[in-house]
């Protein structure tokens, strides 16, 4: 399978945050959900892919091209949608087309007009007056008009009502029907990932906690529940985000340890939201343990 995006050993440090040895790849023809809590490094990773952040080490390839040396060639074929509109809000869609057209060799005005129409976007209204959902669709229309083969979306569905979110996800699903195209989208709303993503990458504290297909993720972890006295200390050590309460405990467990689970304990499938919560709990435990040692 040919990868449209490859990130190898990406490191980027700021004063209070760092991306550490980030590695993942996205094959052509698939959608990857990029998830993680606030401050986990999703936007920094996206900024690094776009060469907006200067990476300390590592290599990012998009379409097989180097993200730093070949940034212009990459951006010709790359569509970017951020959570807010980055265009001049006092201009109309038509005026924005005039601005952007010269930058892209493959800009197709017919496609742009057609997309505006099919997305229900007026071309004579100031884009600043568009609703949030319309702004997202407008940015997607721009990406489609310059024949972007790879689309990166940073929190595109946050702040959208369910109808607008559903519409946006449908547009992405339609976009990916062409097997040469791929989508990377970061989000907090994991139900969107569950719905349309083929691949999932979970970032936690600047590191890749999981990367792989959504099915692998679904099969890799379960939620373990039961009474605290029924879990062996060895198994407890292997739990992620162990949370004890008055009547028992719950925790996330890798399925490779399922053979150690006794009949007295219950397991159930974990969704991405739950996985994120347990990962965050584990992190808090580790920090508390470290504080206790100090």
Partner 1 sequence: MNEMMKMIRFDLITVSRLTVPYVAVFVAVSIIASLFGLTFGILCVVNFVMIIAPIQGINNSNCKRLYGMLPVRRSAVIKALFTEMFVTMFIGELLSFLCLFICRGSSLYKILPERLSHIASNFHKLPESKYMKMYLFAAAAFAFLTIVLCFTQMRSEIKNMEAAIREFLIIVAVFAAVATVISVMIYNDKIDALKDILLPRTSAGKWLSIAILNAVTLAAAYIFCTVTVKKASDKEL
Q: How far apart are CA 58 and CA 19, in angstroms?
A: 11
Stretch that binds partner 1, among 18-26, 44-52, 183-191, 232-240 (CB under 8 A): 44-52
Binder among 102, 177, 233, 292 for partner 1 (CB under 8 A): 102
Q: How far apart are CA 75 and CA 151, in angstroms?
A: 10
Binder among 56, 64, 99, 170 for partner 1 (CB under 8 A): 99
> Which CB sits closer to partner 1, 11 or 267?
11
- Residue 75 touches partner 1, criterion: CB under 8 A: yes
> Which CB sits closer to partner 1, 81 or 265?
81
**Integer angstrom CA distances of residue 261 from 46, 215, 220, 264:** 39, 22, 15, 8
Stretch that binds partner 1, among 19-27, 90-98, 180-188, 277-285 (CB under 8 A): 90-98
> Hey, which bits of the chain come out as E strands?
3-13, 18-27, 31-35, 57-62, 65-66, 78-81, 150-154, 182-187, 199-204, 207-213, 221-226, 240-245, 248-254, 266-269
> Which CB sits closer to partner 1, 19 or 80?
80
Binder among 17, 57, 64, 88 for partner 1 (CB under 8 A): 88
CB of residue 5 vs partner 1: minimum separation in angstroms?
16
Stretch that binds partner 1, among 75-83, 198-206, 209-217, 237-245 (CB under 8 A): 75-83
> Which CB sits closer to partner 1, 95 or 255?
95
Q: How far apart are CA 10 and CA 28, in angstroms?
A: 21
Binder among 11, 25, 29, 53 for partner 1 (CB under 8 A): 53
Q: In what order do the strands lie in the sheet containing 221-226?
A: 240-245, 248-254, 221-226, 266-269
> Which CB sits closer to partner 1, 41 or 241?
41
CB of residue 41 vs partner 1: minimum separation in angstroms?
15
Distant-in-sequence contacts of 52-57, Cβ < 8 A, 24+ apart: 53/12, 54/12, 55/10, 55/11, 55/12, 56/11, 56/12, 56/13, 57/9, 57/10, 57/11
Q: How far apart are CA 194 and CA 236, in angstroms?
A: 28
CB of residue 177 vs partner 1: minimum separation in angstroms?
24
**Contact positions vs partner 1 (CB under 8 A):** 47, 50-54, 71-76, 78, 80, 82, 86-88, 90-91, 95, 98-100, 102-104
């Amino acid at each position: 399978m040919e990868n449209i995006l490859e990130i190898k050993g990406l490191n980027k440090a700021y004063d209070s945050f760092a991306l550490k040895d980030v590695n993942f790849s996205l094959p052509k023809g698939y959608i990857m959900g990029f998830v993680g809590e606030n401050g986990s490094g999703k936007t920094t990773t996206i900024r690094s892919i776009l060469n907006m952040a200067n990476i300390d080490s590592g290599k990012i390839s998009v379409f097989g091209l180097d993200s730093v040396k070949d940034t212009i060639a990459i951006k010709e074929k790359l569509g970017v949608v951020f959570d807010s509109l980055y265009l001049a809000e006092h201009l109309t869609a038509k005026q924005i087309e005039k601005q952007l057209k010269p930058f892209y060799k493959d800009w197709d005005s017919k496609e742009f007009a057609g997309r505006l129409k099919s997305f229900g976007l007026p071309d004579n209204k100031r884009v600043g007056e568009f609703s949030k959902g319309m702004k997202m669709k407008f940015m997607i229309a721009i990406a489609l008009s310059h024949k972007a083969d790879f689309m990166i979306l940073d929190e595109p569905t946050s702040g959208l009502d369910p109808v607008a979110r559903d519409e946006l996800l449908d547009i992405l699903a339609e976009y990916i029907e062409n097997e040469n195209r791929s989508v990377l989208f970061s989000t907090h709303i994991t139900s969107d990932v569950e719905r349309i993503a083929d691949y999932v990458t979970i970032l936690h504290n600047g590191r890749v906690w999981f990367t792989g297909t959504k099915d692998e993720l679904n099969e890799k972890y379960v939620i373990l529940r039961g009474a605290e006295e029924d879990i062996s200390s060895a198994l407890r050590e292997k739990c992620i985000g162990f949370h004890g309460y008055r009547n028992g405990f719950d925790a996330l467990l890798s399925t490779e340890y399922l053979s150690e689970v006794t009949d007295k304990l219950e397991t159930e499938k974990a969704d991405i939201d739950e996985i994120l919560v347990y990962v965050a709990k584990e992190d808090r435990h580790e920090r508390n343990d470290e504080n206790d040692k100090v």
